[in-house]
Structure 1
Amino acid sequence: MDHDEQLLRASSFGVAAAAYAEHRPDYAQAAVRWALEPAPGPRVLDIGAGTGKLTATLVALGAEVIAVEPDQAMLTELRRSLPAVRALPGSAEAIPLPDASVDAVLAGNAMHWFDMAVAGPEIARVLAPGGILAGLWNLMDDQVEWVAGLVRVGGTAAIGPRDTPTSWRAATAGMHLPKTGVGPRFGSPEQTEFPHGQRRTADSLVATIATRAGMLVMPEQEREATLGRIRGFLTGRPETGRGEFTVPMVTGVLRVRRL
């Protein structure tokens, strides 16, 4: 993906903010606990917070959360659903917080959009010494046969390079972390996965997939054709064609400590 395409996809979510808030999954609490486990304190920045999916899990776990999000439509949804959370406009490359003001920086399905050459030093700036940077990704479990079939039918625009555990392990390990030799140093990365799931129907899973960046930037006719193929696949499968079902997922976590 070239730089212009990356920017287009990264900025595409605002047009679907309400649908994103309604249909995207939350994060496995065990995964969030693991991400925070080595943090020296309770102050957490959710960067690229979107509509607050990860923010809500952090609040439920008792963290002191500040959410930062660059897209105004997404930020509006976050403030509507979590009015008690301090939610600020900003980005990983320009964080509106003082130096050493948080104990952990977490990003839910967002770290791959960061320009880490700029964001790495900026994240290090706001992290207290010993603080944690962690990215979390919700992944559809393609070891399950019908999910693997859905991946084939949907194509990479619908089920992208970080949307299944197999592709996430290959695409993500170390790739999106701050580079060594740029500003404060980070330790060795750790990576693991936690079981997760989301209750869906065929229609609501189609609606979820429609909020993926690859779908949002697709020409309308092509997008409708792709979603139609996915809907036909889901309604024709015994696992997904009869009311509600659980989408088998894992939450993948990549974490690193600021030295």
Structure 2
Amino acid sequence: MTTSRARSFGTAAAEYARHRPEYADNAVDWALEPVAARPSLQLLDLAAGTGKLTGALHTRGPVIAVEPDPAMLAELRSRFPDVDAREGNAESIPLPDASVDAVLVGQAWHWFDPERALPEIARVLRPGGVLAALWNGDDANVEWVAGYHKAAALIERRVRDRADSGLRLPEHEAFEASEHAVLPNPVRTTIDGLVATLGTHSWALVADPADRDAALARVRAYLATRPETSAGEFELPLVTDVVRMLRR
């Protein structure tokens, strides 16, 4: 993944915060299950963006948010002024050794350099701590969802095929083998809301404006023909993939 794509979100930080979905509570609970009983849980939201995951973590214990993009970090600080939010990245985390019980990564693992990020994450994790990566994605096994992807030709849009359970984090000597869970995360939205959400994806932010507008117009036109989505508010069948592994 290129740096330009990774940093493209800062140009639409407020829209990202407004339109991107939250993470399912049961997905966050599953991610933190190995350390949930620790008496003084310290959490790290790595590549925190505008704080979509920070909010869920903040209710479970003290959280530090680390984000490299200044615009995204500014949006996070405005939304969560009482959170310790720092500029930094996965390859150079601004925390001391063995300082956190869990490192969580929402919708961002694919931007990391794993050869540099995994040793750095291992450095800041306490023994027995957990690294968990989470992704929200469409359930493309639902016929009308697959249809809108096809209509828009969004070949770079991440979709969830439940037959594919092969998500893993890279192996590393500091960690146990990874585990994977898929949990439902349906959200209520509208055609306008879904189109606005798609507009915050990196493919849209870096695309030629004419190509982006044409793709979004195709989505809008297709959804207007579907009984599941054309009558107003509807349920978008998202799922949250979670991959976790324990620090040895």
TM-score grouping bracket, smaller chain normalisation: over 0.9
Conserved? CA contact 1:157–1:214, under 8 Å: no
> Unpaired segments of 5 or more residues in structure 1?
none
How many equivalent pairs are there? 245
Residue 12 of structure 2 aligns to which amino acid in structure 1? A
User: What do residues 166-202 of structure 1 show as CA deviations (whole Å, max 9, x unaligned)?
Assistant: 49745xx22xx34434xxx100110011111111110
User: What do residues 39-75 of structure 1 show as CA deviations (whole Å, max 9, x unaligned)?
Assistant: 2731110001000001111123x22111000001111
TM-score with structure 1 setting the length = 0.90
Question: Which residue of structure 2 lines up, in the alignment, with residue 92 of structure 1?
Answer: 90
> What are the residue-to-residue correspondences of 1:93-108 with 2, within 5 Å?
93-108=91-106
Conserved? CA contact 2:118–2:172, under 8 Å: no
Residues in 1 aligned to 2:198 and 2:93: alpha-carbon distance in whole angstroms: 30
Conserved? CA contact 2:141–2:160, under 8 Å: no
Question: Which residue of structure 2 lines up, in the alignment, with residue 180 of structure 1?
Answer: 172
| Match of residue 31, structure 1, among 27, 32, 48 | 27
Question: Which residue of structure 1 lines up, in the alignment, with residue 52 of structure 2?
Answer: 53
| Match of residue 217, structure 2, among 225, 228, 231 | 228
Residues in 2 aligned to 1:224 and 1:122: alpha-carbon distance in whole angstroms: 40
DSSP-derived class of the 2:53 partner: helix
Compared CA separation, residues 247 and 18, structure 1 to 2 (3 A): same
Compared CA separation, residues 57 and 218, structure 1 to 2 (3 A): same
| Match of residue 73, structure 2, among 57, 72, 75 | 75
Deviation at 1:165, TM superposition (A): 3.7
Question: Which residue of structure 2 lines up, in the alignment, with residue 207 of structure 1?
Answer: 196
Conserved? CA contact 1:15–1:73, under 8 Å: yes
| Match of residue 22, structure 1, among 13, 18, 28 | 18
DSSP-derived class of the 1:12 partner: helix
Compared CA separation, residues 151 and 168, structure 1 to 2 (3 A): farther
TM-score with structure 2 setting the length = 0.94
Q: Structure 1 stretches (4+) deviating beyond 6 angstroms? A: none
DSSP-derived class of the 1:143 partner: coil
Compared CA separation, residues 47 and 165, structure 1 to 2 (3 A): farther
Residue 97 of structure 1 aligns to which amino acid in structure 2? L
Residue 65 of structure 1 aligns to which amino acid in structure 2? V
> Percent sequence identity over matched residues?
51
Conserved? CA contact 1:116–1:179, under 8 Å: no
| Match of residue 195, structure 1, among 184, 190, 203 | 184
Question: Which residue of structure 2 lines up, in the alignment, with residue 65 of structure 1?
Answer: 63
Residue 100 of structure 1 aligns to which amino acid in structure 2? A
Deviation at 1:110, TM superposition (A): 0.6
Deviation at 1:157, TM superposition (A): 4.9
Residue 206 of structure 1 aligns to which amino acid in structure 2? V
> Unpaired segments of 5 or more residues in structure 2?
none
